[in-house]
Chains A and B, each alone.
Chain A
Amino acid sequence: GAGVSQSPSNKVTEKGKDVELRCDPISGHTALYWYRQSLGQGLEFLIYFQGNSAPDKSGLPSDRFSAERTGGSVSTLTIQRTQQEDSAVYLCASSSRTRTDTQYFGPGTRLTVL
């Protein structure tokens, strides 16, 4: 396949609902990252997976946010009890194990919490 893919491209939800965002990395890439891009802000690091190592979760803003990566490939970012301040574009990126300096980004999921 081509690049990193993300689904859905847009998600509108009501405050208090849970949402799941999906990321399919580039085939063969062992590293996967999630970022959040709020309006007028730069990208904010959320979480990093590298192979079978324990993920770096240091960027997750609260315990309502969680992410998993199954089989070393697809990743799901879950936001529980969504709040209006969670509205943002959620970007996923992947890179090869030896070239973590080159991250390839997906197009993002625009989340709107009403």
Chain B
Amino acid sequence: QQQVKQSPQSLIVQKGGISIINCAYENTAFDYFPWYQQFPGKGPALLIAIRPDVSEKKEGRFTISFNKSAKQFSLHIMDSQPGDSATYFCAASRGDYKLSFGAGTTVTVRA
């Protein structure tokens, strides 16, 4: 049973556009919400993370929006670039280590 539901499964965006990936969770005990980026043949790499005491966190072109009451969080990639083409995973955990991952979203940025 997947504890974190992620959508869409894939998306295509034009260079310079905005990519939006959504995740929803059920376990209200979750207190850590990271996003990972994975390129083909590589392991996932931590991209950005948020804790439920804030509603938004921005790092460069990447922003997490967090809605505690709706139990949802999303990743926005602004000014998408071809180098952003990858699979993105949301995750959640109680404490930091036992991550529950979403199924992943494959993002393709067209030049």
Contact = CB atoms under 8 A, between A and B. Distances in A.
A101 B43 contact: no
A42 B45 contact: no
B34 A101 contact: yes
Contacts of B104: 40-42
A106 B34 contact: no
Nearest to B45: A105
Contact of A103 (B4, B42, B46, B102): B46
Interface residues of B, number: 25
A33 B98 CA distance: 9
A45 B94 CA distance: 13
B70 to A, nearest CB: 21
Contacts of B2: 42
A4 B98 contact: no
A58 B99 CA distance: 12
Interface in A28-42: 31, 33, 35, 40-42
Contacts of A106: 43
A103 B96 CA distance: 9
Given A48-B98, A91-B43, A105-B43, 13 more contacts: A40-B104, A41-B104, A42-B101, A42-B104, A43-B91, A43-B101, A45-B100, A56-B98, A91-B44, A100-B96, A100-B97, A101-B32, A103-B46
B43 A41 contact: no
A23 to B, nearest CB: 11
Range of interface residues on A (Cβ < 8 Å)? 20 to 34
Interface of A: 4, 31, 33, 35, 40-45, 48, 50, 56, 58-59, 91, 93, 95, 100-108
Nearest to A110: B41
27 contacts: A4-B43, A33-B97, A40-B103, A42-B6, A42-B89, A42-B104, A43-B44, A43-B99, A44-B101, A45-B98, A48-B97, A58-B98, A91-B44, A93-B43, A95-B97, A100-B97, A101-B34, A101-B96, A101-B97, A103-B97, A104-B45, A104-B46, A105-B43, A105-B45, A107-B41, A107-B42, A107-B43
B49 interface: yes
